[in-house]
A and B are shown apart, each in its own frame.
Chain A
Amino acid sequence: MTIPQDTAPPDRGRPEEIRAVAVRHPGRWVAVAVIAVLAAMLGHLMVTSTVLHWDVVGQIFTYSTVLSGVVKTLELTVLAMVIGIVGGILLAVMRLSKNPVLSGASWIYVWVFRGTPVLVQLFFWNFLGALVPTVGIGIPFGPTFASWNYNDLIGLFTAAVLALGLNEAAYFAEIVRAGILSVDEGQAEAASSLGLTHAQTLWRVVLPQAMRVIIPPAGNETISMLKTTSLVSAIALEELTRAGQDIASRTLYEIPALVAVSFWYLLMTSILSIGQYYVERYYSRGSNRVLPETPWQKVRKNLVSFQRHEGAVR
């Protein structure tokens, strides 16, 4: 845009660039000093400790039982989350239903499964065989067509998946419910005025928009689930934590085993966090004018802007 000559302010030249003395932050230097000392102490411990055995940590990290423990942990996480998410959506839809029986049933489910510790539920599923020795298909209180022994049907792994998944469903239901309630009522009205059925409105219009609210806590739940699977070691299922413990009790390298296991958890949760970021980005389409940058785009932009702004006032 150009400003007509006669209305332009009198040209007095561009004023001198401001080069002010920056405000001092003595507190920052104190913080740096404290943290540096603590870090140095930790570093010293790690290097000089006689129980850490970094070479052993490395060996345990790639030991075959640990690796298969990692696989088991991932399997547990994925399956439990699938049950949790599907069950959670179902429970949330039931809870918001106009049918009082469905919404009441959903409420009771959430009440029971959120009100008892997941470890107790885990034991429960593992020992349910004592209460229900056989599981069969037939007419309730009538003849049975086929039946199985509970402990044959529900092994250790299935019990663990069920316990974690059904517990997760209760938490996830609340997340989904909050997401559905966050969508403007006008959306459902517009959809039904177009002739979409309740189910189509839910799947095509409401849930995709609810996803933006659901995804961040869902990511946290997944990361949390990955760590919660370590509870399964209590029913002697050989997942990552149990694998580490077994090595520790066999070799007495307790600390290296814990460190190796921790590194695995940290690695997996980090990868999940990155995945969560991209999923969130996908579901934010339409709500932002421009898609948020990927971390890599951000780094590149920062590098460029850093070069440009160098020397100027910040």
Chain B
Amino acid sequence: MSVEPMVRAEQVHKSYGQVEVLKGIDLEVQQGQVFCLVGPSGSGKSTFLRCINHLEKINAGRLYVDGELVGYQEKNGKLHELPDRVVAQKRRDIGMVFQRFNLFPHMTALENVVEAPTRVKKVPRAQAREQGMELLTKVGLADKAGNYPSQLSGGQQQRVAIARALAMEPKLMLFDEPTSALDPELVGDVLDVMRGLAQDGMTMIVVTHEMGFAREVGDSLVFMDGGVVVESGHPREVLTNPQHERTQAFLSKVL
């Protein structure tokens, strides 16, 4: 018997008004995989990522995380929207890291990390702080625990954001272009942290333009363009020997 995939998308469609951004995405992300989504901007990869934790509602198709439908409940062949409270509950298990970090600017690094465990999981404050410090140590920022985000560099902020997401002990991590807003010399630190996570066996879906990272760490890669999956396979194969014309054209520009 095969293990249930962490994420399964069946013909996922998403439109904003008249504009269809996702035109039928089919894919599976296995547990423990590092799954890379690449493609030109506007190809729908970030939108797809945001559908996985229901920040965006899909218009057609089915999207499952860990075997459960995202945002809906199926009863007698009819879909029922889940109440906000249940959606919030399910989001706890999915960590998300944003391109613009989105740290809470009025809280220190440690407070950012501790916020969700204490408020959502009701972890006792002292215990949450201890775990928070462990996570900050893991991302190499234990000495910055008391700093506000505005006192940190972009790379440091992104590493705090990763620690903040990890604090909820998610089973799946979503990375939405985590290094795109960073100065080139700061990218390496963030990728190192992500590499460490991959080694720990975390299931990760990464929207990225870092082809080096995808080749080295990725287990699977999907090239998207115009709202559809154009090509998929092992990163090394797709990146070195792209079959599709559009993949070739894109890679020739970014590699």
Residues of chain A having any CB pair with chain B under 8 Å: 184, 186-187, 189-198, 200, 204-205, 208-209, 283, 285-289
Contacts and interface: CB of A to CB of B under 8 A. Distances in A.
Contact of B91 (A195, A209, A289): A195
Contacts of B92: 194-195
B120 A195 contact: yes
Contact of B105 (A195, A196, A198, A209): A209
A193 B91 contact: yes
Interface in B111-166: 115-116, 119-120, 148-151, 161, 164-165
Contacts, number: 75
B168 A194 contact: yes
A195 B98 contact: no
B60 interface: no
Given A195-B168, A197-B88, A288-B150, A190 B119 contact: no
Interface size class of B (residues with CB under 8 A): 20 to 34
Contact of A193 (B55, B119, B149): B55
A157 B190 CA distance: 61
Contacts of B102: 184, 186-187, 189-190
What DSSP secondary structure best describes chain A's contact surface? helix
Given A194-B91, A286-B149, 18 more contacts: A184-B102, A189-B102, A190-B104, A191-B104, A192-B88, A193-B94, A193-B165, A194-B164, A194-B168, A195-B92, A195-B120, A197-B84, A208-B106, A209-B106, A286-B148, A287-B105, A288-B150, A289-B151
A286 B107 contact: yes
Contacts of A198: 84, 88
Nearest to A290: B151
Nearest to B50: A189
Nearest to A287: B105
15 contacts: A189-B102, A192-B88, A193-B94, A194-B92, A195-B120, A196-B120, A197-B88, A200-B120, A204-B119, A209-B104, A209-B105, A286-B105, A286-B106, A287-B106, A287-B150
Contacts of A209: 104-106
Given A197-B84, A286-B105, A286-B107, A192 B55 contact: yes
A185 to B, nearest CB: 9
Nearest to A185: B102
Nearest to A211: B106
A152 B70 CA distance: 57
Contacts of A193: 53, 55, 91, 94-96, 165
A289 B152 CA distance: 10
A187 B98 CA distance: 10
Contacts of A286: 105-107, 148-150
A289 B106 contact: no
Nearest to A283: B106
B236 interface: no
A189 B55 contact: yes
Contacts of A186: 98, 100, 102
B115 A204 contact: yes
Q: Which 8 A-B pairs have CB atoms at the shortest separation, nearest pair first? A: A195-B92, A190-B102, A194-B116, A193-B96, A186-B102, A286-B148, A286-B106, A195-B120
A256 to B, nearest CB: 49
B85 interface: yes
A287 B105 CA distance: 7
B205 to A, nearest CB: 13
Contacts of A184: 102
A302 B168 CA distance: 49
